[in-house]
Amino acid sequence: MSVPASATPPVGAVHPPPPWVTAVVLTHRRPRLAGDVVRALLADEGFDPARVLVVVNGEGGLDDPALEALVRVVRLPVNTGPAGGFRAGLEAATADPGCRWVYLCEDDVGLFDLPSPRVAGLLDRIGTAAPAHPALGAVVAYGRSFVGRGAHTVNVVPAEADLAPVDVACWGATLVDRRVVDDGVLPDPELFFGVEDFDFFCRVRAAGYEVLVDGEAARAVAGQQTGEGRDEAIRADRPNDAAEAWRSYYHARNSLELARRHGRPSWLAWHLAYTVRHLQAARGATERRAILHGLWDGMRGRLGRNASYGRALGEYAPPGADGPSRADPTGPTTGADGA
């Protein structure tokens, strides 16, 4: 997504989205990045400000009070993780009976090279494909499929297909049909963070809906879906995974829960094997402790937020501005993610 210079850009895309789609931007401690996403939704995608809903997960908001006043804002009193935050966004968006689709956006999705504008054209393509996909529940920007080794997945990049089936996906920039919400399929806040998106899409499919990947988007960001490519895309603007060892706790813990809910007994063995590999590749004692603690809590079935593991720094300050920079980030790297 490109980002216009104006803090409150005008709506003016040539082909704006229809009035029955609502964009939900979930943010936690990333006011600048979230502001960039909202500005792009208004100026590049052509959303009516009344159709943009910002969910502030505990701490944060947008970097411009005028922009924040222009759109709808839901402030959650505490950080509920991406699971709780997107659940609140889906519920708030579909409280409007005229909303047919919800466009879920992470607050850092503007760092990736998705096509822009995208939403109106994608909805047109979905409409064209509807006869062949009557139970379409979600269309993701980049999707993944299980490969028979536990919860391990591979990125799916259709060579030519417009819309192709996938098993799961990261939130990214995803369209969700309101029928999914009406059927009671919502993100589970007990998972808080870490494969909570995988769990959601598994339950979407279990409810009888299809999850498809947008081939145009997947091809555009394919190079950014590798570890190296993702790091390159985000490194100037926010801490990468290596700087956030707390993430390892939730991934180790919740992967066990994902195996119990959606896998086979062999998934647990695969998870233990992958855990050994992750321990060997850990970047230090802090990350190893997080992995082992997550594995222990996962074996005990402990879910929810663990206050010992969470985000301390959401984004870097731009060059010349006050605040932590990439060259000198401050704050602990362990300690819960919001978006």
Residue 316 pLDDT > 70: yes
Residue 13 pLDDT > 50: no
**Does 245 map to a domain?**
no
**Does 165 map to a domain?**
yes
Q: How confident is the model at residue 325 (pLDDT cuts 50, 70, 90)?
A: low
**Does 305 map to a domain?**
no
Q: How confident is the model at residue 151 (pLDDT cuts 50, 70, 90)?
A: confident
- pLDDT at residue 14 in the model: 61
The average pLDDT across 236-247 equals 91
Domain that holds residue 107: 21-227
Q: Which two tokens mark 185?
A: 């399929």
**Does 264 map to a domain?**
no
**Does 307 map to a domain?**
no
b/e per residue, 109-124, with b = 16+ CB within 10 A?
bbbbebbbbbbbebbe
The average pLDDT across 214-229 equals 95
- pLDDT at residue 333 in the model: 38
Those residues with Cβ within 8 angstroms of residue 146's Cβ, 6 or more apart along the chain or in another chain: 152, 153, 167, 168
> Could you give the number of structural domains in the chain?
1
Q: How confident is the model at residue 15 (pLDDT cuts 50, 70, 90)?
A: confident
Residue whose C-alpha is closest to residue 255's, from 335, 304, 198: 198
**Does 242 map to a domain?**
no
**Does 266 map to a domain?**
no
CATH number at residue 126: 3.90.550.60
In the numeric block, the tokens 């180790």 are attached to 252
pLDDT tens by residue, 265-305? 899 899 999 999 999 999 899 999 999 999 999 999 999 99
**Does 304 map to a domain?**
no
pLDDT tens by residue, 96-149? 999 999 999 999 999 999 999 999 999 999 999 999 999 999 999 999 999 988
Distance separating alpha carbons of residues 216 and 176, to the nearest angstrom: 18
